[in-house]
Structure formats: C-alpha cells, structure tokens
Amino acid sequence: MKIVDAKVVVTSPGRNFVTLKITTDEGISGLGDATLNGRELSVASYLRDHVAPLLIGIDPHRIEDTWQSLYRGAYWRRGPVTMAAIAAVDVALWDIKAKAAGLPLYQLLGGASRERVGTYGHASGQDIPELFDSIRARLAEGYPSIRIQTGIPGLKAVYGVHTADHAVDGAPIPHQGARPLVEDWDTSAYLRHMPTVFEAVRNEFGPELPLLHDAHHRLTPIQAAQLGKDLEPYRLFWLEDCTPAEDQNALRLVRGHTTTPLAIGEVFNSLYDYQTLVSEKLIDYVRSAVTHFGGVSPLRKLFDFAAQHQIKSGIHGPEDISPVGMAAAVHLDLAIHNFGIQEYSGYTALTEEVFPHAYTFTSGYLHPGEAPGIGVELNEDLAAAHEYKAAYLPVNRLQDGTVHDW
Ligand code: KDG
Ligand code: MG
C-alpha cells in the first residue's frame, strides 16, 4: 500500500478544526486531528507545506518509522505546532492500519480492558446557585464525575465560566474575532472563595460525587500548596494545572504539602515534559491529548511509563479537540490498563454532522464502537461550507493590568 494524497481540511462548524486526510492507492483513507486552538492555520501550513509532500509514496503501515522521521528528520523537535501536525499523521496512519485489518483501533492496541469509558463533564456558574443548577444538569445527563468552576466575587470573567455578557473590554463575541477577549483575575480572591464553593457543593450533593477543578496554571507553587490543603476536606478527584506547566519542579513543592490528587499536562507535547513528574510520582493523572502529544503512538508510551508509577490517564477532551481526536482518545481509553477518566463536553449538532462517528456517549460513558479504524468520517462538503474564522483564547490580566497566566 502507498500514500497517494494528504489533504488538510480547516473547517469551522462553530469553532475551528484542522483535519488531515491521508488517502492510499488501495482506496483506504485515514483521518487525523491537528487542531491547535487559536493557532490553527500554523498547523495547517506545517502539514500542507512541509509534511504532506514527504508522505506521498510511503507505506502507510510504517507508523513508527514515519513518526520518527517526522520528529527527528525536521531537526526542530517538539512544540505544539510540530507535535499537533505529527499527531494528525500518526492517527491517520493508525486509522488506515486498523481499517486495512478490518478492526476497530482499540483491538490493535491490545483489545478492551474495560466495558466502557467513564467521563467527567463541566459544570459552572457565576455564583453557587447557578453552579448547583449546572451540576444538576450534568447529573441528569448521566455524567458520573463533574468538574466545577465558578465566578469569583469581584471578577467579571473567569476561566471555565460562560457568561451571557462575555464582551469584556468591548471585545467581540467569545472565541471569534481578530483579537482575544480579556478576562480578569485576583489570586487572593480565588483562594478565599474556592474552599467555600467546595463546601457548599459537598453539603448539597453529598460526599460521593467525584469532583474535579481546574486552576488553569494560575498559582505559584506555595499558593497551589495552600489551595490543595484547603480543599483536602472535600476529597477532590483531582486538582488540575495548579501551577504553570513548564516548571516540573514546582509540583515537588505542591506535592510535599498536600494529599489532594494532582493532574497536569494538557499543554505538554512530549514525554520529556513528564520525566520528573512521573518518575518522582509528583502527580496522579497525565492530561495530554492525542491531538497535542504527537498521536496515539507516543501517548501509549506515556501511559506505559505512567503505569510503572501508579499514575493514571485523564485525557484532555474539551470541544477544541475534534471528534477525530476524541475518537482516537476513546480507543486508547478502552485499551490501556491504567485508564483514569476521560474529559468529555460534547459537540454542537453541526460539528457532529461534519464528523459522523461510531463512538457513542451514553449516560456519561463513552465507547469507541466497532467500526474498522477510529470510526470517524469527514463530511467534506459540509466542512467546506463552514470556513475558518479567526478565533482566540482569552488573555488574563490582574486588576492592575498585569498579564497573568490563562
Ligand atoms: O484550548 C484550551 C482549552 O482546551 C482549555 O482551556 C480547556 O483547560 C481546559 C480543559 O481542562 O478542558
Ligand atoms: Mg484544563
């Protein structure tokens, strides 16, 4: 079998997605997700201009060799753009291999280690009553675990909380527009408020509901240690991204002070980003997505490394991972032994139409389905009808105007 075409499709059925479609001379094609929120066109160009020409004529079954040649052969290693592009190739080749074998991808990864894949959904509210309503809505949808985010008294817009009036500083509607929205932040107010939120949620919903929280890289190590200690009575499933992700040593300090479980890694793109964290058991869950970590091949290696240290998976899965990236994640989730949880917030109806898929979401649990490959199609006509629209993640500023981590 030989690759005869590698095509990049950028579509925006509500938000931007970058998809790679690799076609072979035997008529089998495979899809990979290369979406990088807010920097989509750079990955599209990397694939179109620098990777696609290298793929033509090669044997799609040589997944590891192709991965290594794209990684080592470019000389410039790692980084989100490179690794999202390599991820798309890797997943498209796994899709082709599994289709050629007539098997769903999870069978090639060792077969099912469980019957279904447990997820967590997102609940948020400007205040506690609104948060309670949102938790009730997620519970009604069947989610077994819930991430909670709230507004902070005195702040207008905070990560994870969707407001009707998101147009802070006159910026256009959320996500779409030529410039990012600006959110505001006050770490002391946040640190005072969060324990009261968890106390209220535990009082209302009881001790059993698994609760997660994302601090979105906003704390110093000692602030994170303080928050972890303050949240210990509420027995979180995990506290995510408590410090900026680049500094692995920061987690050593946090870990030394708190037993609140820690998750990190959605912005990582290499096994090397985890070397200290995993080998010193400084975290409990690895958060990387197939889409941003170079694909199924390296993520599988990360999970095996993590397993030696009793660390579990918690694959990143918000709406900016396309259904192609989500499908690849669900196959891995089903197959690996050290699965922890899968983030899943669903997609708009239009996105589901652009990417019809075999995976199912039933009462809070995902299953990859039995279609050969990863089990996702791309409706190219519908994709073409929804062109790329410039859209950016917000930036965060302290109340004196200083830029802070978002
Ligand atoms: O593109 C950035 C988002 O994926 C991120 O903000 C979502 O933190 C996130 C999460 O945990 O889903
Ligand atoms: Mg996160």
CATH number for the domain that contains residue 144? 3.20.20.120
Amino acid at position 306, single letter = A
- Cβ atoms within 10 Å, residue 75: 5
Domain boundary pick from 77, 103, 129: 103
Give the position, in ligand 1's atom list, of the atom nearest the Cα of 321. Answer: 4
Per-residue pLDDT of the chain (406 residues; tens, 9 = 90+): 999 999 999 999 999 999 999 999 999 999 999 999 999 999 999 999 999 999 999 999 999 999 999 999 999 999 999 999 999 999 999 999 999 999 999 999 999 999 999 999 999 999 999 999 999 999 999 999 999 999 999 998 889 887 654 433 444 445 678 888 899 999 999 999 999 999 999 999 999 999 999 999 999 999 999 999 999 999 999 999 999 989 999 999 999 999 999 999 999 999 999 999 999 999 999 999 999 999 999 999 999 999 999 999 999 999 999 999 999 999 999 999 999 999 999 999 999 999 999 999 999 999 999 999 999 999 999 999 999 999 999 999 999 999 999 9
Residues 52 and 152 in one domain: no
| Cα 169 to ligand 2 centre (Å) | 25
| Cα 60 to ligand 1 centre (Å) | 32
Judge whether 384 lies within some domain: no
Catalytic site residue 216?
Answer: yes
| Cα 208 to ligand 1 centre (Å) | 25
Judge whether 400 lies within some domain: no
Residue nearest to atom 1 of ligand 1 (CA): 37
Residues 208 and 251 in one domain: yes
Residues 85 and 132 in one domain: no
Question: What's 360's DSSP letter?
Answer: E
Q: Is the CB of 214 under 6 A from ligand 1?
A: yes
Judge whether 36 lies within some domain: yes
Structural element, H or E, at residue 8: strand 3-11
Structure tokens at 118: 């447990």
Name the nearest CA neighbour of 292 among 23, 32, 22, 117: 32
Residues 197 and 154 in one domain: yes
* Of 159, 274, 285, 344, catalytic: 159
Judge whether 380 lies within some domain: no
Residues 11 and 125 in one domain: no
Q: Is the CB of 267 under 6 A from ligand 1?
A: no
Residues 137 and 91 in one domain: no
Judge whether 238 lies within some domain: yes
pTM for the whole structure: 0.96
Judge whether 406 lies within some domain: no
Judge whether 137 lies within some domain: yes
Distance CA 100, CA 97 (A): 5
Judge whether 124 lies within some domain: yes
Name the nearest CA neighbour of 306 among 329, 330, 273: 273
Amino acid at position 259, single letter = T
pLDDT of residue 175: 66
Residues 40 and 126 in one domain: no
CATH assignment at residue 96: 3.30.390.10
Count of domains observed in the chain: 2
Its domain, for residue 42, covers: 3-103
Structure tokens at 372: 């050969």
* Of 122, 193, 213, 216, catalytic: 216
Structural element, H or E, at residue 146: strand 145-150
